[in-house]
Amino acid sequence: MLKELKKAVYEANMELPRRELITYTWGNVSGIDREKGLFVIKPSGVDYDKLKPEDMVVMDLQGNKVEGELNPSSDTATHLELYKAFEGVGGIVHTHSPMATSWAQAGRALPCYGTTHADYFYGEIPCARNLTEEEIREGYEKNTGKVIIETLKGRNPMYVPAVLCKNHGPFTWGTDAANAVHNAVVLEEIAKMNLMTEILNPSVVPAPQSMQDKHFLRKHGPNAYYGQNQS
C-alpha cells in the first residue's frame, strides 16, 4: 500500500541527517495521500542509518495504524492535527535543528530581517505558547498541533509554513514531504542568520514590507512569476 509515498517519505526523512538538521532520532517527516485519506510517517525511535522505505508506517485520519510493523513517530498526533486543519499541506517535518530549537527554547519568534526569509515565509515565523498542564495531561502531541493551529489563526499556513514550539522545536510543512524538508532547511538557515544579524546590530528592524511583499509574492503569490515561469 502507498509504495511510492513510502519511498518519498523515506527519502525526505533521510534528507534530515544529510542536511544536519537532526542528531540521532530527533525528528520525523510524514506525507499524505488525501485522496486515500491516509498518511505515511517515520517509525518512532529508529536510527536513520537503519531506516528502510518499508519501515514507514501508514496511518488513517482517525489516528489508526493501517499498515506497518513498527510504532509510528511519537509526534504522529501532531502531524494528524495539522493535516486535518491545513488543507493545502502535503508533508510535515519536525526536527530539533539546533538554531531553530534555540529560538524556540528562548520563546522568540523569527522576524523577517531579509529577502532570504521573505522568499519562503510571509512575515515573522511565530513561536507558539507552552501547553497548559491540563493540555499536557490530556494529550501532549495532539495539543501541540492545536497550539500550532491557534498560533497561525488568521494567517495562511501555506504562506507561513513553519511554527516554533516553545521549549520544544520547529514544525514545518509544505506541498509534499520533500518541500516540507526544504522549508525546514531554510528555517534553520534563517535562524542562524537572524542570530548573527542581532549580534551585529542589536537595533535591527524587520525588512521593509514592500520588500517582503515583492520577494514572497513573486514566488508564492496568486500571480507568481519567479524563475522560469515568467510570461
Ligand X SMILES: O=C(CO)[C@@H](O)[C@H](O)COP(=O)(O)O
Residues that bind ligand X (CB under 6 A): 25-28, 42, 44-45, 73-75, 94
119 has catalytic annotation: yes
- Taking the least distance from each CB to ligand X, the nearer of 43 and 161 is 43
Q: In the complex, what is the shortest distance from the CB of residue 48 to ligand X, in angstroms, rounded to a whole number?
A: 10
In the set 33, 48, 119, 140, the catalytic residue is 119
SS3 151: helix
- Taking the least distance from each CB to ligand X, the nearer of 138 and 213 is 138
- Taking the least distance from each CB to ligand X, the nearer of 79 and 215 is 79
Cα dist. 154→18, 142, 157, 174, 211 in Å? 35, 21, 9, 18, 22
Buried b (16+ CB within 10 A) or exposed e, 154-163: eeebeebbbb
At 153, the amino acid letter reads K
SS3 60: strand
**Do the Cβ atoms of 160 and 186 come closer than 8 Å?**
no
Picking from 119, 144, 116, the residue whose alpha carbon sits closest to that of residue 131 is 144
Greatest C-alpha distance within the chain: 54
Q: In the complex, what is the shortest distance from the CB of residue 181 to ligand X, in angstroms, rounded to a whole number?
A: 15
Q: In the complex, what is the shortest distance from the CB of residue 23 to ligand X, in angstroms, rounded to a whole number?
A: 9
10 has catalytic annotation: no
C-alpha span between 191 and 197 (Å, rounded): 10
Q: In the complex, what is the shortest distance from the CB of residue 76 to ligand X, in angstroms, rounded to a whole number?
A: 8
- Taking the least distance from each CB to ligand X, the nearer of 25 and 97 is 25
- What's the grid cell of residue 127? 513561536
**Active-site residue set:** 119, 226
